Chain A
Amino acid sequence: MPRALLVPLVLLLGLLPLAAQAQTYGLPTPQPRSTDPAALRRVAREREVHERFRRGLDAEASGAWEAAAAEFRRVLALDPPEPKGSTARYDLALALAHTGHRAEAMDQLDEALRRDPGFAAAAANLTSLALEAGDVPRARAAADRFARIAPDAARARYARGLAALRGGDLGVARSEFGALLGSDPSYAVAHYDLGLVELRSGNVEAATAELRRAVALAPGYARARFALAEALIRGGRRDDAARELDRTLADAADPTLRSLASALRAGLR
């Protein structure tokens, strides 16, 4: 290597550590630049909110839900402004739901939505929790609110359809599952639910068609195959039903479903 190139190269390598030393890291909250006690208290509170959020989210990521709930409760005690207030309630609700405190979790999500009425994720989780609790009136109210926030959302349509189906409102259920399939026709589960709506409405042919679509999209979908067998029996096609039940018995992982399919298959012999 020519000596003329060697000198600049050595100088350049010598400067590298200086570049590394010059690298700076941002602080989570601004450094205090005042001796005013009120300003110092405010900065300290902001720092604590930041730190509690970080620890709460780390705890949720590792499944330590009790510890997470304690962190988010402390955040709420510090009464942070929006969006931190509604977000802390959302995260606290997750921790509460995982520790068996579903009712309090739903109350926290209600409060998050009162503070931030456009919070779609909070409305989504509130609907899921009400459905899990089997509280159909609350699930329907939450799903309606979710649909007002995000009318085209797949989750809003699915939740609204599911709550309506559980509540026996077959018209709304049909409309929501139909709309969901309009934007996502490959979703086998919505075909299954729409099949149930038609079966409960006494529309055996429409039910059979939907359930056939469900099992065509997801051949291992044992629950839909069992429902298809039921629709076929009601349509007088017992041989076809027997074939679907045999396949259900081969595919089903749920023992209750296997038992139901087995009883129905025995009745066809």
Chain B
Amino acid sequence: MIRARVPWLAAFAALLTMLSAGGVVLAATTGVLGSDLNALVPSAPPALLAPISEDGRVGWTCEAERAARARSAREAELPGAER
């Protein structure tokens, strides 16, 4: 009875081994073909704008308010391309 079961157990163990090896290969392949998208982080927040004199934000001479309202990325002092 025991002898009869041994080939079955061996075959079952071999099958499990093959399946787990296949799983490892599949996982590795998935890792290459689709790495975690969370690794791709969005760009950085904009740096803080400059101090403002006691005259306040009103007027085109207020550098910070002008940058806050600018329509181009450069004038708005947005982050540059990171290396």
Interface residues of A (CB under 8 A from B): 49-50, 53-54, 57, 60-61, 82-84, 86-88, 90-91, 94, 97, 116, 119-121, 123-125, 127-129, 131-132, 146, 150, 152-156, 158-159, 162, 165-166, 180, 183-184, 186-190, 192-193, 196, 199-200, 214, 217-218, 220-224, 226-227, 230, 233-234, 251-254, 260, 263-264, 267-268
Category for how many chain B residues contact A? 35 or more
CB distance from B68 to the nearest CB of A (A): 4
CB distance from A150 to the nearest CB of B (A): 5
Give the interface SS of chain A, mostly helix, strand, loop or mixed.
helix
**Cα A193 to Cα B41 with chains together (Å):** 9
B83→A124 contact, CB < 8 A: no
B34→A121 contact, CB < 8 A: no
For residue A132, which residues in chain B have a CB less than 8 angstroms away from its CB? 45
- Tally of contacts, chain A with chain B, CB under 8 A: 169
**Cα A262 to Cα B54 with chains together (Å):** 52
Give the interface SS of chain B, mostly helix, strand, loop or mixed.
loop
For residue A222, which residues in chain B have a CB less than 8 angstroms away from its CB? 82-83
A189→B81 contact, CB < 8 A: yes
A83→B57 contact, CB < 8 A: yes
Q: Beyond A94-B48, A153-B71, is A53–B53 a contact (Cβ under 8 Å)?
A: yes
